[in-house]
C-alpha cells in the first residue's frame, strides 16, 4: 500500500489495521521488550512505521528519547494526539528509507512492526537496510511480520481453497501483502546484519481475520512472527 492508501485508513485504523501492540492477546511484546537491557535515563527507541503510536504509548517509560517515523500525515497526527503526555518524542513524517540520515545510528531498540509487507523486494530491502542503519551495533531490533504459516492455518480452518501463495504474497482486501515463513524471517534478518535471538508467535484475535473463533483446529489463534534480533558488531550488512 502506498502513502495515500495508508492515509485514507487514518480514521478507521483500529478496525481496519492489525495494531499488534494494542491487540495481541498474550503480552508477548512485553516479554520481548523486557529481555533487552534498557535504561530510562539513556536509552533511545526508534519506531519505524509507528502507526497511531500504540507501541510508544505502552513502552515509552523504558526509554529516554523516542523517534517515530510514519509517512502518512493523518496517521502520524493521530499518533501525536495519542501520545501528548509522552515526553521527548521526535516525530518524522517521512518515508522510512529517507529517515536513516535524519536519525543516525542511535537506537538501543528499533521497532518495525507489520511494516515490511510490500510485495516489492526492493522496497522491503530498503526498509531492512534502514532498520540496520539506525540500530547501534550490538543493540536490538524488534520486528513483527505477517506469518505465512498462520495464513495457511486460517485458510484451512475457513475451508478456503488454498490459493497460490507464491513468494509469500497474499491478497488482503485491495492489497497484496508479503508474509514470511519463520525460516525466511531468520535468514532475511541475518542478511540484514542481525543475529536473531528470540522468535515467537504473537497472537491476535480471530476477528481481525473476519472470523469467529473456530471450535477446533484454530490453535491459539492467528499469529504474526515477532523476532528480537541483535545488530552485528561491525561490517556491512549484505542485501537481504
Ligand atoms: C500495519 S501498520 C502498523 C503500525 C504500527 N507499527 C503497529 O504495529 O500498529 C503499518 C504502518 O506503517 C506505515 N508505513 C508503511 N510503509 C511506510 C514507509 N515506507 N515509510 C513510513 N511509514 C510507512 C503505514 O502508514 C502504517 O501506519
Residue 217's domain comprises: 3-231
> The domain spanning residue 7 has which CATH number?
3.40.50.150
Q: Which three cell numbers stand for residue 186?
A: 531468520
Check if 17 has its Cβ closer than 6 Å to any atom of ligand 1: yes
Residue 238 lies in a domain: no
State the distance from the centre of ligand 1 to the C-alpha of 63, rounded, in angstroms: 21
Pairing relation of β-strands 44-48 and 107-113? parallel
Going by alpha carbons, the residue nearest to atom 7 of ligand 1 is 19
How far, in Å, CA of 228 to CA of 235, rounded? Answer: 20
pTM (2 decimals)? Answer: 0.95
Residue 70 lies in a domain: yes
Residue 236 lies in a domain: no
Q: How many CB atoms lie within 10 A of CB 227?
A: 23
The CA R_g of the chain, rounded to the nearest whole Å, is 17
Residue 219 lies in a domain: yes
Check if 23 has its Cβ closer than 6 Å to any atom of ligand 1: no
Residue 144 lies in a domain: yes
Q: Among residues 226, 149, 203, 219, which one has the least CA distance to residue 180?
A: 149
Check if 69 has its Cβ closer than 6 Å to any atom of ligand 1: yes
Q: What local confidence, expressed as pLDDT, does residue 33 receive?
A: 97
User: How many domains, the chain?
Assistant: 1
**Most ligand 1 atoms within 8 A of CB, residue of 115, 128, 129, 175 to mutate:** 115
User: What is the full per-residue pLDDT of the chain (240 aa) written as tens digits?
Assistant: 999 999 999 999 988 888 999 988 888 999 999 999 999 999 999 999 999 999 999 999 999 999 999 999 999 999 999 999 999 999 999 999 999 999 999 999 999 999 999 999 999 999 999 999 999 999 999 999 999 999 999 988 877 765 656 899 998 878 899 999 999 999 999 999 999 999 999 999 998 888 888 777 778 899 999 999 999 997 555 666
The SS3 call for residue 180 is strand
Amino acid at each position: 500500500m502506498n502513502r495515500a492508501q495508508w492515509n485514507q485508513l487514518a480514521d478507521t485504523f483500529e478496525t481496519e489495521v492489525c495494531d499488534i501492540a494494542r491487540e495481541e492477546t498474550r503480552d508477548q511484546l512485553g516479554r520481548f521488550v523486557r529481555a533487552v537491557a534498557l535504561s530510562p535515563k539513556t536509552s533511545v527507541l526508534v519506531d519505524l512505521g509507528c502507526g497511531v503510536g500504540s507501541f510508544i504509548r505502552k513502552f515509552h517509560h523504558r526509554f529516554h528519547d523516542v523517534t517515530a517515523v510514519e509517512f502518512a500525515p493523518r496517521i502520524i497526527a493521530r499518533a501525536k494526539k495519542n501520545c501528548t503526555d509522552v515526553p521527548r518524542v521526535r516525530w518524522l513524517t517521512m518515508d522510512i528509507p529517507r529517515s536513516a540520515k535524519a536519525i543516525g545510528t542511535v537506537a538501543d531498540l528499533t521497532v518495525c512492526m507489520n511494516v515490511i509487507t510490500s510485495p516489492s523486494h526492493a522496497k522491503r530491502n530498503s526498509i531492512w537496510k534502514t532498520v540496520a542503519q539506525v540500530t547501534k551495533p550490538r543493540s536490538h531490533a524488534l520486528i513483527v511480520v505477517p506469518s505465512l504459516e498462520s495464513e495457511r492455518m486460517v485458510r484451512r480452518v475457513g475451508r478456503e481453497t488454498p490459493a497460490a501463495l507464491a513468494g509469500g504474497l497474499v491478497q488482503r482486501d485491495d492489497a497484496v501483502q508479503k508474509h514470511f515463513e519463520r525460516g525466511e524471517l531468520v535468514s532475511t534478518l541475518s542478511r540484514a546484519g542481525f543475529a536473531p535471538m528470540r522468535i515467537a508467535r504473537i497472537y491476535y484475535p480471530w476477528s481481525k481475520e473476519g472470523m469467529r473463533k473456530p471450535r477446533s483446529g484454530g490453535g491459539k489463534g492467528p499469529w504474526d512472527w515477532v523476532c528480537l534480533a541483535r545488530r552485528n558488531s561491525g561490517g556491512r550488512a549484505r542485501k537481504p
